[in-house]
Amino acid sequence: MCSICGEVDFISPSDKRYDTVKKMNRVMKHRGPDDSDIFSDKNVCLGHNRLSVMDIENGHQPMSVIYGNKKYTIVYNGEIYNCDEIKKDIRKRGIELRTNCDTEVLLYAYIIYGADCPKYLNGIFAFCVYDGESVFLARDRFGVKPLYYSIKGSSLIFASEIKAMLENPLVSSNVDKYGLWEILYLSPNFVSGKSVFCDILELCPAQCMIFDKNGVKKWKYWEIQAKPYFRDRDYAVEKTRDLMCDAIRRQMVSDVPLCVLLSGGLDSSVVSSVGQEYCKENGTILDTYSFEYEGNKEAFKNSLFQPEKDDDFALYVADYLGTNHTVLTCPTDILANDLIAATKYRDLPGQADIDSSLLYFCKEIKKRHTVGLSGECSDEIFGGYPWFYRPEMLYSDFFPWIHQPRLRASLFRDNVSSSDEGYDYVRSIYKKSFEECPILEDDTEKMKTARRASYLSVNYFMTSLLQRKDRMSMASGVEVRVPFADHRIYEFVFNVPWEIKFENNVEKALLRNSMEGYLPDKILWRKKSPYPKTHNPKYLEAVAQMLKDRLKRGSYLNEVLDKNKLDEMLNSSGTWFGQLMSAPQMVAWLIQFDYWLEKYKINLI
């Protein structure tokens, strides 16, 4: 894993471009602490920071090759999991590879397949290839790896993170009312293809771009398709098992120490079980980690969304599988203090302690491991959320995971939130996405509901989780892989009848049935529990004091918050936006929002 950035202009050469890209590259050094370099010529300047994972000695970037009397240069962030298959095709054409890293394989894949190159890739990636006349950029199908860009005059500017974009003097930190509405009514989900910053766009998941002297051309190289299913239940179970095991085993390959993030839930336990099987075949033992919060055991209170604690289940799975297991416990003071660092690494107010805790855990993991596998993305694909089988949630006219969409915005004065206009804007985005979902005319109503729930979840809910995972892990120089985000799994499961996926009214029944034999029933049929939050009352005390201190010193929040609503929220016990955002998390989010406004010199226009 790495970071990439660059500035390209085929009309107006500039000697200042190198210094600008050097600054852009430097602020993303955390993503690639092992190596840095810049490629530059009169039209193009490309920056790269490297986190060494495969072929540590020979994977230096930017990487250039000469083929057919033409020079090609690549900067790339990601991992390609089907390298062996692509290598065979490369070698058939008489090309001799100089390295064992996927960067060289990807570069030759572009040379051979051209703009169709991403269609051949199984992996997570964002990359740019320069051939002397144009640059080609592409992003993986689910957007696991980030890529932002801006067109300013005849220049293309791009980077892995927003903070690098803002290092370029051509790019402003202006945020208009639409960007603010996304933050208040939708975040941490965001609309694909744009950002909250007026000057910064996002290359969408599964999208390509060519930029040359004639300007920009963009297109989608992949989209999920609704297709009829002609096989039976047993085929679905067997096919799912084969796809899952293949995806996990492909992602176990690494030249640096690798682990699995094990919560004790179904998804991470599936990854751990197959991962341990792979390790045993190779004469090793899998390392696993679970996460806990200081004081949580004493303060835990079960709820509809968190019916039970994870820690005992994680220990049970680790013992059952025989992994080398470590429990990491996040101290309350670090959980609160790291809210600021988490905002800096995400470049936006994010998911409060859900972010800061993962940031802490990844810092601890980095002491022993560079690569981790996670169970993220299963619920969006297999139907683990209640809006898959509760139509009243999906058809509520707003994103179903946002229970009270106006509530967070109500903390702000109406001249800031424009409550009706802002709500209607975000609701229109929901309606548009709802209608875009591919369905078949003869789908049952339950199948239509399931398709739409999956489509929305993958394109919004899942992308926010992947963004969090990428930013918090890469802040510590840790690469986290997500086997469930293999497009082959989604393509297959999307078209399996809902009756098979929800057999006996059990969420994710298809996944559970397919992995029988890999896990004991206690785990295989365990009810879903989301990423844990702290229940320690000392956390609320800590963040409440942090917020009071910021308000006392003249925070911008004084001008925009409704003080009565703030007091009401501080004394409440319910949720204040989504399923995991109660009063402590809402206070923490306000701290992140205030820091973001100040640190990023946000100009609300």
* Partners of 516 in the β-ladder: 519
pLDDT tens, residue by residue, 533-578:
788 889 989 999 999 999 999 888 998 998 888 888 777 655 444 4
Lowest-confidence region among 97-106, 221-230, 273-282, 411-420? 411-420
| CA-CA-CA-CA torsion sign (348, 352, 354, 360) | positive
pLDDT tens, residue by residue, 35-49:
999 999 989 999 999
pLDDT tens, residue by residue, 501-514:
999 999 999 999 99
Spell out the residues 6+ positions from residue 17 whose beta carbon is closer than 8 angstroms to its own: 7, 9, 40, 45
Q: What's the pLDDT score for residue 569? A: 75
Q: Is 2 designated active site? A: yes
Domains and CATH numbers, the chain: 2-220 (3.60.20.10), 233-524 (3.40.50.620)
User: Residue 61 pLDDT > 50, yes or no?
Assistant: yes
Do 579 and 387 touch, CB atoms closer than 8 A?
no
Of all residues in the chain, the percent with pLDDT exceeding 70 is: 96
* Partners of 479 in the β-ladder: 371
Q: What's the pLDDT score for residue 576? A: 46
Q: How far is CA 217 from CA 43, 150, 401, in A?
A: 18, 13, 34
Pairing of strands 2-8, 258-261: unpaired
- The whole-angstrom separation of Cα 18 and Cα 42 is 10
User: Between helices 83-92 and 102-113, what is the axis angle to 10°?
Assistant: 50
Do 328 and 289 touch, CB atoms closer than 8 A?
yes
* Partners of 329 in the β-ladder: 292
- The whole-angstrom separation of Cα 256 and Cα 258 is 6
- The whole-angstrom separation of Cα 374 and Cα 484 is 9
Amino acid in position 225: Q
- The whole-angstrom separation of Cα 406 and Cα 6 is 39
Q: What's the pLDDT score for residue 603? A: 93
Helix (H) or strand (E) holding 156: strand 155-159
Task: Give residue for tokens 């790269």.
Answer: 48
Spell out the residues 6+ positions from residue 297 whose beta carbon is closer than 8 angstroms to its own: 309, 311
- The whole-angstrom separation of Cα 287 and Cα 174 is 45
SS3 at position 327: strand
User: How many helices (H) does the chain have, and how many strands (E)?
Assistant: 25, 19
Reading phi first (left if > 0) and then psi (alpha if -120 to 50, else beta), residue 508 is in: left
Residue closest to 111 by CA, chosen among 78, 65, 159: 65
SS3 at position 216: strand
The pLDDT-based confidence of 168 (bands split at 50, 70, 90) is: very high
Task: State the chain's mean pLDDT as an integer.
Answer: 93
Q: What's the pLDDT score for residue 577? A: 46
pLDDT tens, residue by residue, 325-361:
999 999 999 999 999 999 999 999 999 999 999 999 9
Other Cβ atoms less than 10 A from the Cβ of 575: the count is 18
Task: Give residue for tokens 């000392």.
Answer: 538
Structure letter (DSSP) for residue 385:
S
Lowest-confidence region among 66-80, 196-210, 415-429, 570-584? 570-584
User: Residue 199 pLDDT > 90, yes or no?
Assistant: yes
- The whole-angstrom separation of Cα 138 and Cα 121 is 11
Q: How far, in whole angstroms, is CA 7 from its chain's centroid?
A: 25
Helix (H) or strand (E) holding 441: none
Q: What's the pLDDT score for residue 584? A: 87
Residue closest to 330 by CA, chosen among 291, 301, 369: 291
Torsion angles phi and psi, residue 214, rounded to 5: -90, -5
Mean pLDDT of 92-97: 91
Spell out the residues 6+ positions from residue 398 whose beta carbon is closer than 8 angstroms to its own: 405, 426, 427, 430
Torsion angles phi and psi, residue 72, rounded to 5: -120, 135
- The whole-angstrom separation of Cα 500 and Cα 478 is 37
Residue closest to 34 by CA, chosen among 4, 59, 63, 5: 59
Q: What's the pLDDT score for residue 542? A: 94
